[in-house]
Amino acid sequence: MQSLRTARAASTDEIVRSQQIVADAFYGANLIPQKITVKDSVWQNREVAAALAAK
């Protein structure tokens, strides 16, 4: 059984991958002027991440 933390991380990873595909398609279609790395823009609350990692 997956822990909530593992499930949340997997879910976040899936979302980032999905958004990266869209960003790459937009760049490839010249809809945006530069390539975007989605994972660099994902907000992470370090206090929450540390608390989850401690459990």
What pLDDT is stored for residue 22 in this prediction?
A: 98
* pTM for the structure as a whole: 0.66
| Three-class SS state of 3 | coil
What pLDDT is stored for residue 3 in this prediction?
A: 65
What pLDDT is stored for residue 6 in this prediction?
A: 62
C-alpha to C-alpha distance for 34 and 28, rounded to whole angstroms = 10
- Span 1-55, pLDDT tens digits: 556 666 666 678 899 999 999 999 999 999 999 999 999 998 877 887 788 788 7
C-alpha to C-alpha distance for 55 and 48, rounded to whole angstroms = 11
Residue spans of the domains in the chain: they are 4-54
What pLDDT is stored for residue 4 in this prediction?
A: 60
